[in-house]
Structure 1
Amino acid sequence: MNGAWLLLDLVLVPMILAAALCAVGARAQFTGIVFYIVYGLLLALAWVRLGAENVALAEAAIGAGLTGVLLLGALARLPAAAPAEPGADGSPGTALRLAAAILCAALALGLGAAVLALPEPAPGLADVAAAHLPATGLGNPVTAVLLVWRGYDTLLEVVVLLLALLGVWSLTPDPLWGGVPGPRHRTRPEGVLVFLGRVLPPAGLLVGAHVFWAGADRPGGAFQAGTILAAVWLLAIMAGLTDAPAVRGLALRLVLVGGPAVFLGVGLAGLATAGAFLGYPPDFVKPLVVLVEAALTLSIAVTLGLLVAGAPERPPR
């Protein structure tokens, strides 16, 4: 069995390095984005190999999937540019590229030496987290860390995601503000996309609900479930079965701010019930974590879907 894992490592590590080099060194922007997506998927396999299934799900769904779609959408909006010689349009020349490569290699060697110099076993808080996990009522240590012991980080991540959507919306011309994001999709009723748009969303909803519910005790959680729900929603929009909502809708905005608001409300309540911001009463840790995760799942799903849809382009019908 160890030989099989060693063989997997010997194949996976060079593929990750090759994909990263191709993503950085590709001359065509589309090629670079494709290799970036491949790099993210290979990195997700590496996280699975390291036993970090939660991180693998987030990397595959957000790091490779959502970010790759956003990059492809941004590329589609860029004006076509004629190829130019290195340095002719202000891009770095050969000498600067070589210097950057040497610097990156030196940094990678330094980080590798630092990792190899760590004592055995490496210092960390994994044992402390595992020892205190029963007090939370949760079975998944990652969820416990993200929502109980490092809640500040998770709350700020959700707020940053919402601010990113506001940044996208701020690019909308004034006459279209409040309109519907993205172009209107028209597809053939007998086409494959419409078929998939009818078949996959029900299964996607069940998978997303399972990933959310399982996140308290097994790999999963709000970000992973929210990404799955956003994907099936976008599939239905692309198939022309539904339309993106107008951004001026009150219900839409309540869903967007609902997750951060519930998280912040539970955190403020902790000042009175647990003596600390983002603290939880000992007997209600798991119910409150599930409540926060449920609100975050909906907010993250809608936020990610609207990020991919882009800025409002059409007035509401």
Structure 2
Amino acid sequence: MTGLLADLAIGAAILALAAGMVAARSAFTATAFFIAYGLLLGLAWVRLGAVDIALTEAAIGAGLSGVLLLTAAARLAARPVATERAPGPLLTALIALCCAAVAVAIGAAILSLPEPTPSLAAEVAANLPATALGNPVAGVLMSYRALDTLLESAVVVLAVVGVWSLTPPGGWGGFPGPFHLRVESGPLALLARLLPPIGIVIALHILWVGKDAPGGKFQAAAILAAMWLLAWMAGLATPPRIASRRLRFAVSAGAGLFLAIGVAGALAEGAFLAYPAGWTKALVLAVEFALTASIAVALALLVMGPPEEEDRA
């Protein structure tokens, strides 16, 4: 009974935060609701036993995405607001009707699923030992859904390219994001010096145990990116120029290695992203480590934004 009441409270809070996010008048308020919404979603996933998804939701869905939205809200607030015509009541009602129709359609699709729901879980579980990975989520993502994982890593690279394409005239090739003066005292200075070593150790632990327990590359990359951003905001770390070949290699190396292993699998085993027998775990770990570094750099660069000036003192 206690568990049911807790689940009902979490569900009600999620719906309330979602409504507050939609009804918020300012971008900052909506972002604050979004971060709280993501954290509660992570708690909901824990209640459902999906710890891997909960970690991803908390680290990326709420944490890093929240920072990205807060940065965007701050930049929007610093710019003059263009006079735009607000949607009228008819358009507002139409939007609400369309959203309600989508929600009803999704609910109807879920409720109409047959019992028991068709699943390949038994077949997947029977063949997972061939991957030598103890974490079934890692095994599925890097074997049965390897193409999805490859495309997700490619999307992150393309997102960085998209952000860099917003560089103003005269700023191309410069340092990403605004320049931060070095902070010598205060909470930010303390946290920027204290947390990164701890965060790096935690990220490496989450990455390493991800092969056998909840964790993995995306969660570890989000933590590493957050540590770099913390040092960057305190003026303790200056990112390389976007013209740096090493920086571009760091962003694309993970996806590039994953693609190369996929092509090698096609040549050796006759199927794209097929792993040679006995080499599955070693190749998966190589891709996981490379993707962690690349995704961490890419996520940090997305938050930093495009270059704003050509040179810095």
Post-superposition offset of 1:274: 2.1
Partner of 2:74: 76
Partner of 1:6: 4
Aligned residues: 310
**Distance change >3 Å, CA 173–CA 105, structure 1 → 2:** closer
Post-superposition offset of 1:93: 1.7
Kept in 2: contact 1:138–1:144 (CA 8 A) = yes
Partner of 2:263: 268
**Distance change >3 Å, CA 316–CA 142, structure 1 → 2:** farther
Post-superposition offset of 1:239: 1.4
Write the letter of the residue equivalent to 1:306.
Answer: L
Aligned mate of 2:249, from 249, 254, 258:
254
Write the letter of the residue equivalent to 2:44.
Answer: A
Partner of 1:307: 302
Partner of 2:137: 142
Partner of 1:132: 127
Q: 2:271 & 2:102 partners in 1: Cα distance?
A: 40
Superposition map of 1:47-196 within 5 A: 47-78=45-76, 79-81=79-81, 89-196=84-191
Write the letter of the residue equivalent to 2:45.
Answer: W
Partner of 1:17: 15
Mean CA deviation greater in 296-305 or 149-158:
149-158
Q: Give ranges in structure 1 of 5+ residues lacking alignment.
A: none
Residue-by-residue CA offset, 1:174-224 (whole Å, 9 max, x unaligned): 321111112221244122111111110011000110111111111111111
Q: 2:23 & 2:125 partners in 1: Cα distance?
A: 42
Mean CA deviation greater in 197-206 or 24-33:
24-33
* Cα RMSD for the two superposed structures: 1.7
Post-superposition offset of 1:29: 1.9
| SS in structure 1 at match of 2:271 | coil
Kept in 2: contact 1:180–1:314 (CA 8 A) = yes
Mean CA deviation greater in 234-243 or 293-302:
234-243
Write the letter of the residue equivalent to 1:241.
Answer: L
Write the letter of the residue equivalent to 2:5.
Answer: L
Q: 1:109 & 1:11 partners in 2: Cα distance?
A: 22
Kept in 1: contact 2:173–2:241 (CA 8 A) = yes
Partner of 2:211: 216
- Scaled by the length of structure 2, the TM-score of the pair is 0.94
Q: 2:190 & 2:308 partners in 1: Cα distance?
A: 27
Kept in 2: contact 1:246–1:316 (CA 8 A) = no
Post-superposition offset of 1:303: 0.4
Partner of 2:35: 37
Q: 2:106 & 2:167 partners in 1: Cα distance?
A: 42
Post-superposition offset of 1:77: 1.8
- Scaled by the length of structure 1, the TM-score of the pair is 0.93
Partner of 2:230: 235
Kept in 2: contact 1:208–1:228 (CA 8 A) = yes
Kept in 1: contact 2:35–2:62 (CA 8 A) = yes
Q: 1:312 & 1:297 partners in 2: Cα distance?
A: 24
Write the letter of the residue equivalent to 1:71.
Answer: L
Post-superposition offset of 1:129: 1.6
Post-superposition offset of 1:91: 2.7
Kept in 1: contact 2:182–2:236 (CA 8 A) = no
Post-superposition offset of 1:114: 2.8
Write the letter of the residue equivalent to 2:99.
Answer: C
**Distance change >3 Å, CA 123–CA 44, structure 1 → 2:** same
Percent identical residues: 54
Residue-by-residue CA offset, 1:93-152 (whole Å, 9 max, x unaligned): 223222322332233233223322323332222222211111110111111111111111
Instruction: Detail structure 1 runs of 4+ shifted over 6 Å in the superposition.
Output: none
